[in-house]
Amino acid sequence: MQRDAPAGIRKVNPAEKLAAFQDHWRPRIVGELNDSYVKLAKLQGDFVWHRHDNEDELFLVVQGRLRIRFRDGEVVLEPGELVIVPRGVEHLPSAEEETCVLLVEPKSTLNTGNVRNERTVAELDRL
């Protein structure tokens, strides 16, 4: 017999949450972990070159293929693979096809880092 989870504990189904939105490059908060948000996002095309001066950033590919370019190389992630981009490292995420990612970032992390433009999302939605 399965019992209900204790108060404050909630199960998250990433596939269900990802089905709830269609837009690209607009992360949604699906949970909190200490001083970090757990986010889901859909990506397609190139983002912008940027860096996060004070925050590390974890990308885990759920579906699709993500290329993260650096000034001196690149990393390509397949489903189930992750990379941690250290603070201060300039990078450009890119996805040729729609790619779904789970991000773990400090709550202070702005999606475009040191760049402010039309892709900057200052207020994140929660799912």
The residue with tokens 């760049």 is: 115
Nearest residue to 85 (alpha-carbon basis) of 39, 119, 51: 51
What distance in Å separates the CA atoms of residue 78 and residue 67, rounded to the nearest whole number?
Answer: 9
Q: What are phi and psi of 81, to 5 degrees?
A: -100, 150
Q: What pTM was estimated for this model as a whole?
A: 0.91
Q: Is 124 helix (H, G, I), strand (E, B) or coil?
A: coil
Q: What pLDDT score was predicted for residue 50? A: 97
pLDDT band at 119 (very low <50, low <70, confident <90, very high): confident
Express each pLDDT in 59-117 by its tens digit. 999 999 999 999 999 999 999 999 999 999 999 999 999 999 999 999 999 898 899 88
Q: Which domains does the chain have, with CATH numbers?
A: 14-117 (2.60.120.10)
